[in-house]
């Protein structure tokens, strides 16, 4: 009995740490006042906000230029605790820095009451699942970590939503987020505002205080929630949502994003 309980705890712990690890795209600067410069971007997984725990593969990182075209960093290296990428800012406007975004498939199932999981979509699962598998659900998971950097005047091209997956829009440009001023976010799933999506807002320096002071936000009927950054500094917004999916690859989708941004001094 003791052994079983221990095993359950261990697997729970493994699952929760895997889920709890937050992906971060953290640029050295969010605002620049000249073209032709660079930002260096930290890419890492973390548990405490902006406390780098693990460097991530840099091949999943891309830069969306102010005109919407996609570029690669001029240099990137994966470190043990964090990875880094240099991004050249040749033109004015708003850039989107993005990591991840590739769908991954996994199929969960039960055999004799025991929960199991295999990496693969419905077609792969059909070949590999044991014959006595029950409760089979295949999930398409997609996570993106984002940040926006603005050189001179802000632009909107890289903020536009696509109608695909979980997306957000703010009632102000990310470069206009200021301490003490309310921001209203709208979260959409496949282009439609959805009620009840949960999001967490946290801020820099969790390692150095007892109370993480995270704000737990939930979208209303119009898919909106509001928050007011109390102080100037770096913030992280995390949200995720699930929805049924009609696809030959998966039964449902699980979408998540993290957005790092700064609230400027008033």
Partner 1 sequence: MKKISVALVLMSGLVLPATASDLEIALQLPKISEGQYHRPYVAVWVEDSSEKSVRLIEIWREKPDWIKDLRRFWRKTGRADQPLVDARTGATKGPGQYRLRWDGKDDQGATVANGEYQLVIEAAREHGGRQLVKQKFNWDGTAVALSVAAGNEIGQVQLSRKAP
C-alpha span between 66 and 63 (Å, rounded) = 10
Residue 63 makes contact with partner 1 by CB under 8 A? no
Q: Which is nearer to partner 1, 173 or 252 (CB)?
A: 173
Q: Is 17 helix (H, G, I), strand (E, B) or coil?
A: helix
Structural tokens at position 93? 């406007």
C-alpha span between 27 and 50 (Å, rounded) = 11
- Considering the complex, what minimum distance in angstroms separates the CB of residue 264 from partner 1? 5
Q: Which is nearer to partner 1, 155 or 260 (CB)?
A: 155
Question: What b/e readout covers 15-37, taking b as 16+ CB neighbours within 10 angstroms?
Answer: eeeeeeebbbbbbebbbbeeeee
Whether residue 211 contacts residue 243, with contact meaning beta carbons closer than 8 Å, is answered with no
Q: Is 192 helix (H, G, I), strand (E, B) or coil?
A: strand
Q: Which is nearer to partner 1, 62 or 173 (CB)?
A: 173
Q: Among 33, 69, 102, 162, which residue interacts with partner 1 (rule: CB under 8 A)? A: 33
- Considering the complex, what minimum distance in angstroms separates the CB of residue 42 from partner 1? 20
Q: Find the helix or strand (DSSP H, E) in which 31 lies.
A: strand 31-32
Residue 93 makes contact with partner 1 by CB under 8 A? no
Q: Which is nearer to partner 1, 139 or 155 (CB)?
A: 155
Q: Which is nearer to partner 1, 176 or 195 (CB)?
A: 176
Residue 265 makes contact with partner 1 by CB under 8 A? yes
CB half-sphere exposure, 190, CA atoms < 13 A: 8
- Considering the complex, what minimum distance in angstroms separates the CB of residue 175 from partner 1? 7
Q: Which is nearer to partner 1, 155 or 258 (CB)?
A: 155
Query: What does DSSP say about strands 75-77 and 83-89: parallel, antiparallel, or unpaired?
Result: antiparallel
Residue 229 makes contact with partner 1 by CB under 8 A? no
> Which residues have C-beta within 8 Å of that of residue 132, sequence separation ≥ 6?
111, 112
Residue 212 makes contact with partner 1 by CB under 8 A? no
Residue 37 makes contact with partner 1 by CB under 8 A? yes
- Considering the complex, what minimum distance in angstroms separates the CB of residue 34 from partner 1? 4
Whether residue 66 contacts residue 155, with contact meaning beta carbons closer than 8 Å, is answered with yes
Q: Among 22, 24, 32, 140, which residue interacts with partner 1 (rule: CB under 8 A)? A: 32
Q: Among 57, 68, 130, 153, which residue interacts with partner 1 (rule: CB under 8 A)? A: 153
Closest CA to 225 of 237, 233, 235, 234: 237
Residue 171 makes contact with partner 1 by CB under 8 A? no
H-type helices in the chain, by residue range?
2-20, 122-128
Q: Which stretch binds partner 1 (CB under 8 A): 26-34, 56-64, 75-83, 159-167?
A: 26-34
Residues that bind partner 1 (CB under 8 A): 29, 31-34, 37, 150, 152-154, 175-176, 178, 264-266
């Amino acid at each position: 009995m003791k052994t079983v309980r221990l095993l359950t705890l261990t697997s729970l712990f493994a699952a929760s740490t895997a889920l709890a690890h937050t992906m971060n795209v953290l640029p050295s600067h969010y605002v620049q006042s000249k073209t032709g410069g660079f930002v260096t971007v930290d890419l890492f997984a973390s548990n405490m906000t902006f406390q780098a725990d693990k460097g991530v593969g840099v091949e999943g990182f891309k830069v969306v230029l102010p005109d919407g075209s996609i570029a690669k960093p001029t240099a990137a290296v994966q470190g043990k605790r964090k990875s880094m990428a240099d991004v050249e800012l040749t033109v004015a406007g708003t850039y989107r820095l993005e990591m991840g975004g590739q769908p991954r498939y996994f199929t969960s199932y039960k055999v004799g009451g025991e929960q199991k999981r295999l990496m693969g979509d419905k077609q792969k699962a059909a070949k590999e699942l044991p014959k006595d598998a029950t409760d089979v659900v295949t999930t398409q998971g997609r996570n993106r970590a984002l940040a926006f950097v603005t050189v001179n005047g802000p632009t909107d091209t890289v903020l536009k939503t696509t109608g695909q997956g979980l997306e957000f829009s703010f009632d102000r440009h990310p470069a206009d987020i200021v301490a003490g001023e309310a921001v209203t976010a709208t979260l959409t799933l496949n282009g439609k505002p959805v009620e009840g999506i949960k999001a967490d807002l946290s801020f820099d320096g969790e390692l150095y205080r007892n109370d993480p002071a995270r704000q737990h936000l939930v979208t209303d009927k119009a898919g909106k929630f509001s928050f007011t950054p109390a102080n100037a500094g770096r913030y992280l917004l995390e949200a995720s949502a699930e929805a049924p999916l009609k696809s030959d690859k998966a039964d449902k989708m699980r979408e998540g994003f993290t957005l790092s941004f700064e609230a400027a001094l008033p």
